[in-house]
Homo-oligomer: A and B are copies of this chain.
Amino acid sequence: MQPPPAQPGMPEDEVDTPALILDLDAFEANLDAMAGYLAPTGAKLRAHAKTHKSPVVALQQIRRGAVGQCVQKVAEAECLAWGGVPDILVSNEVVSPRKLARLAALSRISNVALCADDADAVALAEQAAEAAGIRLSVLVEIDVGAGRCGVTPGPEAVVLARRIAGSPHLRFGGLQAYHGSAQHIRSPEGRAKAIGAAIDQTRRTVEQLRQQGLECGIVGGAGTGTFPLEAASGVFNEVQAGSYAFMDADYAANEAAPPFRHALFVLAQVMSVPKQGLAVVDAGHKALPTDSGFAKPWQRPGLTYAGASDEHGNLRVEGGAAPKLGEKLRLVPGHCDPTIDRFDWFVGVRGGRVECLWPIAARGAMH
């Protein structure tokens, strides 16, 4: 683990770079806003910890009404459970016997559940639960358009749910129905169309399960891009947004989206101004992964982050104040999830000063 790049009380401009800055006013406003959006709907928040990787953040979400957390990895579930999070869904398939044994062990201190899309995977979960002497909750993942994991909605899901419900060591936990690619469709009409189809498929599957006497404790899915649709559907009772707390350049490009604020920045320092029109900062793609595009300079018109190498970011300067050697500036990450996972500390800032340091305890927790 890297040492913290700041101390509480320090002005932001003294923070060592590159550093992950959390604007606490914006962050708390985002948490409050999500609670406000969901209050009148039938859905609760189960925030996705693959984004924030931190029990500190998780507990603040739960304090505002979240029923628990999602994770993608057993190692993330461990980190949250050890940090006091009482209810955790692995919104993903787990097929390694050793990982399943760890998850079953975890169920002694937290409510845990996982997803399955294959009868062989269900059998592995069953063996782990039996060996641990516990009953493990398993959701059926259905593919509602993402084209990734999941069985086909409808009868195929019912067959798998019956397999789970029929086991003395498992409990049928409900449906996982996340449409990942729909989150980033720019137009609200496009998102509504994709999620409308996902809702229809999910509703139909819930009804077919009910006809078999199988009730869905959880019907979960949705992300920051589409959660108002799922939350209003009457079908989904949990939404799994994660990025809303931080926002990034990619989600900010969605049109007519709930106005969450940019709360997450990488603070970078200008380390070279080699010629007119170019400034080089000390945050490249190791600090700012480029899977969803480049970072954007924050409130600096005329600057464009135009190229990344491992540890260098090239800023094109086309007007505005030219960055000076040694100057520090905020960059909005292209994608918050992998960016947070690059750092060991959130540097919480309020009113220009460092207020807190929070460890990103599940950084690198991929197992």
Contacts and interface: CB of A to CB of B under 8 A. Distances in A.
Contact of A96 (B118, B272, B314, B326): B326
Interface residues of A, number: 64
Interface stretch (A24-32, A104-112, A336-344): A336-344
A180 B147 CA distance: 37
Contacts of A326: 95-96, 120, 124
Interface stretch (A125-133, A148-156, A186-194, A346-354): A148-156
Nearest to A14: B98
Interface string A245-279: 00000000000000000000000011111100010
A60 interface: no
A309 B180 contact: yes
A309 B184 CA distance: 13
Interface in A1-28: 1-2, 5, 16-18
Interface stretch (A210-218, A284-292, A296-304): A284-292
Given A72-B311, A314-B148, A272 B118 contact: yes
Nearest to A98: B16
Interface string A304-322: 0000111110100000000
A325 B118 contact: yes
Interface string A93-107: 111101100000000
Contacts of A367: 2, 5, 16-18
A267 B94 CA distance: 16
A271 B92 CA distance: 9
Contacts of A366: 2, 18, 282-283, 286-287, 311, 342
B18 A148 contact: no
Contacts of A117: 272, 274
28 contacts: A2-B364, A2-B365, A16-B99, A16-B367, A17-B96, A17-B367, A18-B366, A72-B311, A93-B272, A93-B280, A95-B270, A117-B274, A120-B326, A121-B325, A124-B326, A148-B272, A149-B272, A149-B280, A285-B338, A286-B337, A289-B289, A289-B290, A289-B291, A289-B338, A290-B290, A290-B291, A291-B291, A363-B364
Given A286-B337, A286-B338, A287-B366, 20 more contacts: A1-B1, A1-B364, A2-B75, A16-B96, A16-B99, A16-B367, A92-B271, A92-B312, A93-B272, A95-B325, A96-B326, A117-B274, A147-B278, A148-B312, A149-B272, A151-B274, A180-B309, A311-B366, A342-B364, A363-B364
Interface of A: 1-2, 5, 16-18, 50, 72-73, 75, 92-96, 98-99, 117-118, 120-121, 124, 143, 147-151, 180, 269-274, 278, 280, 282-283, 285-287, 289-291, 308-312, 314, 325-326, 337-338, 341-344, 363-367
